[in-house]
Structures are given as structure tokens and as C-alpha cells.
């Protein structure tokens, strides 16, 4: 007899692994093989697929998978006035791959501005 009890309680963060098509598009965009508009179109299509899958599975709360973000905490910080960042080629090795890590600098007084993550709208 099973010791499992229902209903199960679970939480998920909402950050999904990127599909290969999205990873390929990001690499092509970075190498100037596709335009920003072409890249954005692929991102939007992959988000639409993810939303449909979550609805199909009966999720009560759905997420875009955070496919547009680079870093969960730095994307937020980089959208403030007074904060700058630069890709200096640094990173952290993770699972045999170098995870990009931009250097971040304070360049002035920190102030909110229009924020795409919706925090200051």
C-alpha cells in the first residue's frame, strides 16, 4: 500500500529550461546571423508553446518561463539608472559550460526607470 497522500502540495519558480530552438536562436543573434526582430519572433513563439503546454497540463498559474531574461537577479538590477554592465568574457563554469557573467558597475545615483519586469510601472 502506498504511503502517498493527496492532494500534493507543490510550488515551482517559473523558470523553465530553454528549448534548443531558443538556444540556437540566441547564438545566431549573438553572432549577427539573425536580426533582433527574428530573434524576438522565435522567443515569442517558444513562449507561446510553453504557455499552451502549461494550460494543457492544467497549471493554475502559468509563466513565460523567463525566456527573455539573462540572469534572475542581474536583469532586475541592470534596469536601474546608475547601474551599468559589460560582457568582459568572465563567467562561472557550470556543467562543462561557461555561464556568462557580466561585470556590473555603479555609475551614478540609483533610480528606478521604466522597468520591463513590471516592478516600477
| Number of domains present in the structure of the chain | 2
Among 28, 46, 68, identify where a domain stops: 68
Q: Which domain holds residue 34?
A: 15-68
Q: Which of 39, 107, 43 is nearest to 77 (CA)?
A: 107
Burial of residue 90 (number of CB atoms within 10 Å: 0-12, 13-18, 19+): exposed
Which has the higher per-residue pLDDT, 1 or 31?
A: 31
Is-above-0.85 flag for pTM?
Answer: no
Q: Give me the mean pLDDT over the 85-106 stretch.
A: 80
Q: Give me the mean pLDDT over the 24-36 stretch.
A: 96
Range name among 2-6, 39-43, 115-119 with the lowest pLDDT average = 115-119
Amino acid at each position: 500500500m502506498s504511503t502517498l497522500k493527496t492532494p500534493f502540495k507543490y510550488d515551482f519558480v517559473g523558470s523553465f529550461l530553454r528549448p534548443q530552438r531558443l538556444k540556437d536562436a540566441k547564438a545566431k543573434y549573438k553572432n549577427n546571423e539573425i536580426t533582433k526582430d527574428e530573434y524576438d519572433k522565435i522567443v515569442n513563439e517558444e513562449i507561446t508553446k510553453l504557455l499552451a503546454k502549461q494550460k494543457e497540463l492544467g497549471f493554475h498559474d502559468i509563466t513565460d518561463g523567463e525566456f527573455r531574461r539573462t540572469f534572475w537577479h542581474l536583469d532586475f538590477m541592470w534596469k536601474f539608472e546608475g547601474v551599468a554592465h559589460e560582457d568582459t568574457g568572465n563567467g562561472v563554469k557550470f556543467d562543462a559550460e561557461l555561464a556568462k557573467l557580466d561585470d556590473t558597475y555603479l555609475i551614478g545615483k540609483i533610480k528606478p526607470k521604466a522597468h520591463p519586469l513590471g516592478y516600477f510601472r
